[in-house]
Amino acid sequence: MKKILFVVSLAMILGLISQSSFAQKDPQAKEILDRVSNKYSKMNAFKADFVYKLENSEAGIDEEMQGLIHIKDDQFKLELLNKIIFFDGDLIREYDNDFQEYTIKEYDSETEEVNLSSVLNLYKEGFKYRIREQTAEGYFIELVPEDGDKSFFKIIMEVNNKFEVNSFTYFEKNGNLVSTLVKNFEEQPNLQLSFFDFFQANLEVIDSVDMR
């Protein structure tokens, strides 16, 4: 227990150090982030295969799983493990393949995990940012939330020279590192809005839960 408390305390200290290490919004970092956001926003729709990783060396956690996300405007369809998650811009509809259970809830940007859909515009409000490292392949940009109450204290985003997101990792105060590595990316100009409609997917539902 003492060891776990020490890890959490250390992570919180590191978070405070990170927040105080820079107190401005780096114009060069903003230019890169703007180009990334603009590039994706001009696409009608796209999909990405990714690897999701959860690591915590002190707690002995090292998990990795494959995922697939489709994005169009503010809507997305996310497939990860045994779940399919639909977001229509307003509500989250989550389907569990194992139990054939359907859950509906309000979308809360403060509690939902950072994913490829949200990270593209995350910097626009409530974050400071800077270029942490520049390489021949692109940039590593560090984003720090201005709100100290968030569950994470920084995000490291890797952007290539084509201004595409290669990966992003957020550092939680409990010591977790949560990473998303984009493996394959494909623009899908003909993807229809009906693709993001849970009821059009014709999934068999045995039980449903309304959490609104």
Type of residue found at 212: R
- The strand order across the sheet containing 83-87 reads 127-134, 138-145, 152-160, 165-172, 177-187, 46-56, 61-72, 75-80, 83-87, 91-96, 101-106, 207-210
Nearest Cα residue to 123 out of 155, 166, 153: 155
CATH homologous superfamily for the domain 2-210: Lipoprotein localisation LolA/LolB/LppX (2.50.20.10)
Looking at residue 44, its pLDDT comes to 87
Digitized pLDDT (tens) for each residue of the chain, 212 residues in all: 433 333 334 444 444 444 445 557 899 999 999 999 999 888 889 999 999 999 998 889 999 999 999 999 888 999 998 999 999 888 899 999 999 999 999 877 655 555 677 788 889 999 999 999 999 999 999 999 998 888 889 999 999 999 999 999 989 999 999 999 999 999 998 999 999 999 999 899 998 888 98
Looking at residue 148, its pLDDT comes to 82
Looking at residue 15, its pLDDT comes to 46
Strand runs labelled E in 57-188: 61-72, 75-80, 83-87, 91-96, 101-106, 127-134, 138-145, 152-160, 165-172, 177-187
Composition of the chain by helix, strand, coil, percent to 5: 25, 45, 30
Determine if the pTM surpasses 0.85. Answer: no
Domain ranges for the chain, please list them: 2-210
Looking at residue 18, its pLDDT comes to 47
